[in-house]
Amino acid sequence: MVPRACIVATSVLGFALGHAAAQSPLPPGFVYLRDIDPTIAQDIRYAGNNNFVGRPLDGYNAAECVLRRDVAMALKAVQADLAPAGRGLKVYDCYRPTQAVRAMVRWARDGAPAGATKRFYPRVPKTALFALGYLASVSRHSTGTAVDLTMIDMSARPSAPFDPSAIYGACTAPLAERAPDNSLDMGTGYDCLDVMSYTRSPAVTRDERERRAALVAALARRGLVNYFREWWHFQFAGAGPIGYYDVPIRAR
């Protein structure tokens, strides 16, 4: 029989370790991308209003890209690969707490009218977004091994600020009509839940397809594989064992 004192001591230690883990700003093995490569631009959409839900998602307490260290190091390598051509990366979403995924599920099923965020899914009802594969109830983003990103011209000026009161065109509209973004034009905006966002969609121009192909090739060289329905979504192929986390994103 284990002595009562040992049981109490073990329980206290377990509580202390669990409390310490709960207080940690990052899941184990995770880093702030800014600490690995501050030259990679960040526009963390789910920390603001410029997204298909129209508000900051649960768990996004700071507009910071958080990833597993190995994934962050892979992006650092991609950034170095792109530099000679004067290009670089811009990330839109990185680690995503599971509470944010649950918030997406609730939003898709809440029955509320789309309103201004309809521009992100102009041709399908939001109730169909999960069935059509645009959204998932379990996301690799929650493991820190998936990232949404694009390419920019490193000499590009910063984007104009997003104006919640403005009326922007659909994500499938020409670049000048969409919400402001200083990235290279890939034929649709980020998080455009539409068949035009399929990486090899024939509905975009030749130049746009070539930019998508260049992005896919640059990421593939460093072990990041594209999701065919979203030209911006990549998963790290060498991730090994993964865990899903719900630690909120906090400021550095």
Whole-number Å distance between alpha carbons of 174 and 191: 15
Read off the pLDDT of each residue in 97-116 and give the average, rounded to a whole number.
94
The answer to whether residues 169 and 177 touch, using CB atoms and an 8 Å cutoff, is yes
**CA atoms within 13 Å, Cβ hemisphere of 51:** 18
Please give the pLDDT value at position 7: 36
Read off the pLDDT of each residue in 219-230 and give the average, rounded to a whole number.
97
Please give the pLDDT value at position 31: 98
42: closest CA among 100, 84, 116, 95?
95
Regarding pTM above 0.85, the answer is yes
Whole-number Å distance between alpha carbons of 60 and 53: 13
pLDDT band with cut points at 50, 70 and 90 for residue 4: very low
The answer to whether residues 62 and 47 touch, using CB atoms and an 8 Å cutoff, is yes
Give the distance between the most distant pair of CA atoms in the chain. 73
- What is the distance in angstroms between the CA of the first residue and the CA of the last residue of the chain? 46
Among the listed ranges 76-80, 96-100, 109-113, 139-143, which one has the minimum average pLDDT value? Answer: 109-113
Domains delineated in the chain:
12-236 (3.30.1380.10)
Read off the pLDDT of each residue in 169-182 and give the average, rounded to a whole number.
97
Please give the pLDDT value at position 55: 97
Residue 10 has pLDDT above 60, yes or no: no
